[in-house]
Chains A and B, each alone.
Chain A
Amino acid sequence: MARFTIRRLIELVLVFFGVTFAIYAAVFALPGDPISSLGGDQPLSPAVVERIRNLYHLNDPLWSQYLRYLGHLLTGDLGVDFRGRSVAERLASRWPVTIRLALTAWVIQVVIGVGLGLVAGLRKNTWIDRGVLILTILIASVPIFVMAVTAQLVFGVKLSLLPIAGVTDGWPTSYLLPATVLAIYGLAAVARLTRGSVVDTMSSDFVRALWAKGLSRRRVIGVHVLRNSAIPVLTYLAIDLGALLGGAVVTEGIFNLPGVGQLLFESIRVHEGPTVVGIATALILIFLLTSLVVDLLNSLLDPRIRHD
């Protein structure tokens, strides 16, 4: 187990350097000059532009800029944006919103998705099973902005049950609507995956042997089938949580939630390099950590992986 963890950590560090460099280089290569657009309508004098460029080391070669960035990063410093604001502080105000949204959406996916999948899997080929399939596919095929705007119209405007946009009402009231809309898109995948996994496990030889042992239905399904079926589903759910934390650009936009996704979108639009790289770096870290957690969880659940 310790060996396994160490090996995964080493891989994680390598991936981290590779991906941050790729993003740094990509932002570097974006067309247009972020500094000259800082002045808005009034062009900045070349001397000023040159001064700012030197201040941000923009005239240095790419590798030296990247190494400097990395140096700061290792001390926990994400740098400042082109207006001199601390990237870390800007992110810090955004994270709580995104984390609340993501976790709420994720919990909805887990409860409803796994629940539906479980029921469908245990009632294979009945009308319940088919109903779940049709329902999940139907919902997932509606574009997210249609779903979001419709939800706003129905629950916000007509029924006045939930706020239409913004976060002024706090958690959970302000988050329920956007989180549900966001969750719906992962729901189909979670439900189908859970169903397939349960069906596979239920038809496996060892489950037949468990029935032959004379175990109760509760024990066979509640202990053996659940744990064996959980392995692929958990992997998906953990990766999914990573993706949700990456910020939902469209959902945050429609519901006007000041989260990371919205910040990322704005920053790309105005070529705010330091902020984009800062967010991307944070997202990479989240992805790497969730995949590490997935691997460790899997090896806990499945002894065959542990001993490999």
Chain B
Amino acid sequence: MSDEVLRFEELTVDFTVGGTTQRAVDGVSFGVRAGEVLAVVGESGSGKSVTALAALGLLPSNARAGGRISFGGADVLEMSRAELTALRGRRIAMIFQDPSGALDPVFTIGAQLVEMIRTHQPSLSRGAARERAIELLRMVEIPENRLKYYPHQLSGGQCQRVMIAIALACDPELLIADEPTTALDVTVQQEVLDVLLAMRSKISGAIMIITHDMGVVADVADRVVVMRKGAVVETADVHELFDHPTQEYTQALLDAVPRGGPRESTSVDADVAALRIDDLVVEYRGRRGRTVQAVGHVDLLLNPGEVVGLVGESGSGKSTIGKAVLGLAPITSGEVHVAGQALTSSSASDLRKTRARIGVVFQNPAGSLNPRGTIGQSVGEPLAVHGGVRGAELRRRVEELLDSVELPGAWAGRYPHELSGGQRQRVSIARAISLDPGLLIADEPTSALDVSVQATVLELLRSLQDRLHFACLFISHDLAVVDQVCDRVAVMSQGRLVEQGDRESVLRAPQDPYTVRLLEAAPVPDPREQSRRRGLRLAG
């Protein structure tokens, strides 16, 4: 194992919070070989990020590490502050998940690049450092006039590329990338991964990439370490792992990745559409009297019992459509009909009745459930407000609803913080279906969840939809998820609907170039397919 740049040996990390100690990493051993891209995969709480932070001596002060992290013949855990400072950035560099938060907001990106260069090469003059900064920016495909820009003036993808430029400034022996593309849109993710991999030929070092996304693993990795609950489950070559996973957990993780599947189309008896959107325009007033068009002339139809996926990247206007249907976004022109009722011309009391027929599930269940109310109160509130249900009858109905989302009825007295993310999202779903809605709006309902949890929540949504036959507007950025649950798909880009149709035709034979790009950018959990696509893309 002499070709290993970095080796974790029986690494343990304990966190002490309020007097109790918890083990986050429990005897992890693996190595990163020179020149390779090693992916460390796992769900939240698997200890993958903590392991990476330990390699740089960046653990928070309430953490204690044991074992050994060998790097260049020394043990990182034994290093003094001065030795660590000499190691960080110069020999091991790191980039983080949230690129806009990882740059100091009050300095220009040029200043931050120059700072990095001059810290590690103090002999370089200011001018020479600036030259080098420009060269680095060019390497990550950012024009040199951006040198004077502040982080908030750049997009998330650009910020991440700046972070890569900073990380690579000193040609480190190892680059650790902690979920480098998780916060980014899929097409931007592809650009960043491309830049990252292009660096591979330019630097001598190895790359350790931490991710929860099997598609990203298949796209970039040579070898894979699978982690779960602070321990290594499996270490294997990427092809071997995807073809013949030896561990049950790895298999489960791969199975949980949504791949789409056959879904019988629901019989449609379209007397009154569940949702009809005609020529909808939503404009917000921007600064200096300028208006920003969030949604421009969109037509969309949802038949009763139909699940329509609304797909797009951030800023495409997909969530705004959901908000407009709920009356949370201003309808500038056009009309929205919910079960035949026009929203803009309805009286306030009619609107209330119409809204009672719409269920909503938001992305972040932690934020959409009242933290000071029990989940029973959250689920029962619509019944009490709109249905006038009280007392024992209300309790019975709440238990029934919790039961239908596969949570014990006795949990009605618990608070949201006592539940996991997936359980909370089940509560949100129970609340959304409490009034037996004709229309359910699900805005990124699984984006905040781990992939295995996501799979179970999606399954629940589908089985509920089969049973209750509500129409569902499923808003998502994740094509694979949409593929799994939707009958029809509508694709949005920059406020406009670029394509819509049957799931099969849109996702298998896309017509619009944007849809094509989106589909190709989404990494699939298949290393061979990913390397074929990458080859095609780089060939031009």
Counting chain B CB atoms within 10 Å of each CB, the highest count among A209, A301, A302 belongs to A209
In the docked arrangement, what's the CA distance between A217 and B87, Å?
Answer: 14
**Which residues of chain B from 137 to 166 have a CB within 8 Å of any chain A CB?**
150, 152-153, 163, 166
The answer to the question of B467 belonging to the interface, with a C-beta cut-off of 8 Å to chain A, is no
Cβ contacts A291-308/B at 8 Å (1 or 0 each): 000000000011110010
The answer to the question of A216 belonging to the interface, with a C-beta cut-off of 8 Å to chain B, is yes
Do A228 and B105 touch across chains, with their CB atoms under 8 A apart? yes
Do A208 and B58 touch across chains, with their CB atoms under 8 A apart? yes
The answer to the question of A212 belonging to the interface, with a C-beta cut-off of 8 Å to chain B, is yes
In the docked arrangement, what's the CA distance between A298 and B119, Å?
Answer: 28
**Which residues of chain A from 266 to 294 have a CB within 8 Å of any chain B CB?**
none
The answer to the question of A211 belonging to the interface, with a C-beta cut-off of 8 Å to chain B, is yes
Do B119 and A307 touch across chains, with their CB atoms under 8 A apart? no
Do B89 and A212 touch across chains, with their CB atoms under 8 A apart? yes
Contact of A219 among B88, B105, B119, B163 (CB under 8 A): B119
> How far is the CB of A155 from the nearest CB of chain B, in Å?
41
Taking CB atoms, residues of chain A closer than 8 Å to B120 are 214
Do B105 and A215 touch across chains, with their CB atoms under 8 A apart? no
**Contact A209:B163 (CB < 8 A) given known A214-B89, A215-B115:** yes
Do B101 and A214 touch across chains, with their CB atoms under 8 A apart? no
**Contact A204:B150 (CB < 8 A) given known A211-B88, A212-B94, A217-B81:** no
Taking CB atoms, residues of chain B closer than 8 Å to A227 are 106
Do B115 and A209 touch across chains, with their CB atoms under 8 A apart? no
In the docked arrangement, what's the CA distance between A287 and B107, Å?
Answer: 30
The answer to the question of B198 belonging to the interface, with a C-beta cut-off of 8 Å to chain A, is no
**Which residues of chain B from 52 to 89 have a CB within 8 Å of any chain A CB?**
56, 58, 81, 85-89
Do A213 and B150 touch across chains, with their CB atoms under 8 A apart? no
**Which residues of chain A from 51 to 89 have a CB within 8 Å of any chain B CB?**
none
Contact of A303 among B98, B106, B163, B166 (CB under 8 A): B106
> How far is the CB of B13 from the nearest CB of chain A, in Å?
16
**Which residues of chain A from 175 to 226 have a CB within 8 Å of any chain B CB?**
204-206, 208-217, 219, 224
Taking CB atoms, residues of chain A closer than 8 Å to B86 are 214
Taking CB atoms, residues of chain A closer than 8 Å to B93 are 212-213
Taking CB atoms, residues of chain B closer than 8 Å to A213 are 88-89, 93, 115-116, 119, 166
**Contact A205:B101 (CB < 8 A) given known A211-B88, A216-B85, A307-B153:** yes
Taking CB atoms, residues of chain B closer than 8 Å to A208 are 58, 96, 102
Chain B residue at smallest Cβ distance from A307: B153
**Contact A211:B103 (CB < 8 A) given known A216-B85, A307-B150:** no
Do B106 and A302 touch across chains, with their CB atoms under 8 A apart? yes
In the docked arrangement, what's the CA distance between A208 and B152, Å?
Answer: 18
Counting chain B CB atoms within 10 Å of each CB, the highest count among A206, A211, A302, A303 belongs to A206
Q: Please give the number of chain A residues whose Cβ is less than 8 angstroms from any Cβ of chain B in the complex.
A: 22
Taking CB atoms, residues of chain B closer than 8 Å to A228 are 104-106
Taking CB atoms, residues of chain A closer than 8 Å to B119 are 213-216, 219
**Contact A214:B106 (CB < 8 A) given known A206-B101, A209-B96:** no
Taking CB atoms, residues of chain A closer than 8 Å to B90 are 214
Taking CB atoms, residues of chain A closer than 8 Å to B107 are 224
Contact of B150 among A210, A212, A219, A303 (CB under 8 A): A303
In the docked arrangement, what's the CA distance between A303 and B163, Å?
Answer: 19
Do B101 and A204 touch across chains, with their CB atoms under 8 A apart? yes
Do B58 and A210 touch across chains, with their CB atoms under 8 A apart? no
Taking CB atoms, residues of chain A closer than 8 Å to B87 are 214
Do A211 and B166 touch across chains, with their CB atoms under 8 A apart? no
Contact of A214 among B88, B95, B163 (CB under 8 A): B88
Cβ contacts B124-145/A at 8 Å (1 or 0 each): 0000000000000000000000
Taking CB atoms, residues of chain A closer than 8 Å to B104 are 206, 210, 224, 228
Do A206 and B103 touch across chains, with their CB atoms under 8 A apart? yes
Cβ contacts A222-236/B at 8 Å (1 or 0 each): 001001100000000
Do A205 and B88 touch across chains, with their CB atoms under 8 A apart? no
**Contact A206:B150 (CB < 8 A) given known A211-B88, A212-B58:** no
Do A303 and B101 touch across chains, with their CB atoms under 8 A apart? no
Taking CB atoms, residues of chain B closer than 8 Å to A304 are 105, 150, 152
> How far is the CB of B508 from the nearest CB of chain A, in Å?
40
Counting chain B CB atoms within 10 Å of each CB, the highest count among A204, A211, A302 belongs to A211
In the docked arrangement, what's the CA distance between A301 and B120, Å?
Answer: 27
Taking CB atoms, residues of chain A closer than 8 Å to B163 are 209
> How far is the CB of A98 from the nearest CB of chain B, in Å?
35
In the docked arrangement, what's the CA distance between A210 and B104, Å?
Answer: 8
Do B96 and A205 touch across chains, with their CB atoms under 8 A apart? yes
Taking CB atoms, residues of chain B closer than 8 Å to A303 are 105-106, 108, 150, 152
Contact of A205 among B98, B108, B166 (CB under 8 A): B98
Chain B residue at smallest Cβ distance from A228: B106
> How far is the CB of A216 from the nearest CB of chain B, in Å?
6
Contact of B152 among A205, A215, A307 (CB under 8 A): A307
In the docked arrangement, what's the CA distance between A71 and B234, Å?
Answer: 84
> How far is the CB of A218 from the nearest CB of chain B, in Å?
10
> How far is the CB of B519 from the nearest CB of chain A, in Å?
32
Do A211 and B58 touch across chains, with their CB atoms under 8 A apart? yes
> How far is the CB of B59 from the nearest CB of chain A, in Å?
11
In the docked arrangement, what's the CA distance between A224 and B89, Å?
Answer: 17
Taking CB atoms, residues of chain A closer than 8 Å to B89 are 212-215
> How far is the CB of B26 from the nearest CB of chain A, in Å?
24
> How far is the CB of A66 from the nearest CB of chain B, in Å?
35
Taking CB atoms, residues of chain B closer than 8 Å to A210 are 104
**Contact A302:B105 (CB < 8 A) given known A205-B96, A209-B163, A215-B115:** yes
In the docked arrangement, what's the CA distance between A209 and B98, Å?
Answer: 11
> How far is the CB of A297 from the nearest CB of chain B, in Å?
13
In the docked arrangement, what's the CA distance between A50 and B158, Å?
Answer: 77
In the docked arrangement, what's the CA distance between A289 and B173, Å?
Answer: 54
Do B102 and A214 touch across chains, with their CB atoms under 8 A apart? no
In the docked arrangement, what's the CA distance between A208 and B95, Å?
Answer: 10
In the docked arrangement, what's the CA distance between A246 and B150, Å?
Answer: 38
In the docked arrangement, what's the CA distance between A89 and B81, Å?
Answer: 62
Contact of B88 among A212, A224, A307 (CB under 8 A): A212
In the docked arrangement, what's the CA distance between A204 and B150, Å?
Answer: 17
> How far is the CB of B434 from the nearest CB of chain A, in Å?
38
**Contact A214:B105 (CB < 8 A) given known A208-B58, A219-B119, A304-B152:** no
Taking CB atoms, residues of chain B closer than 8 Å to A206 are 101-105
> How far is the CB of A90 from the nearest CB of chain B, in Å?
45
> How far is the CB of A18 from the nearest CB of chain B, in Å?
25
In the docked arrangement, what's the CA distance between A209 and B88, Å?
Answer: 10
Chain A residue at smallest Cβ distance from B86: A214
In the docked arrangement, what's the CA distance between A224 and B106, Å?
Answer: 8
In the docked arrangement, what's the CA distance between A227 and B81, Å?
Answer: 23
Do A212 and B152 touch across chains, with their CB atoms under 8 A apart? no
In the docked arrangement, what's the CA distance between A206 and B107, Å?
Answer: 11
22 A-B pairs (CB sep. < 8 Å): A205-B102, A206-B104, A208-B58, A209-B96, A210-B104, A211-B56, A212-B56, A212-B89, A212-B93, A213-B166, A214-B85, A214-B86, A214-B90, A214-B120, A216-B85, A216-B119, A224-B104, A228-B105, A303-B106, A303-B108, A304-B150, A304-B152
Query: Hey, which bits of chain B sit against chain A, CB under 8 A?
Result: 56, 58, 81, 85-90, 93-96, 98, 101-108, 115-116, 119-120, 150, 152-153, 163, 166
A-B interface, 5 closest residue pairs, ranked by CB to CB distance from nearest: A214-B89, A214-B88, A205-B101, A209-B102, A303-B150
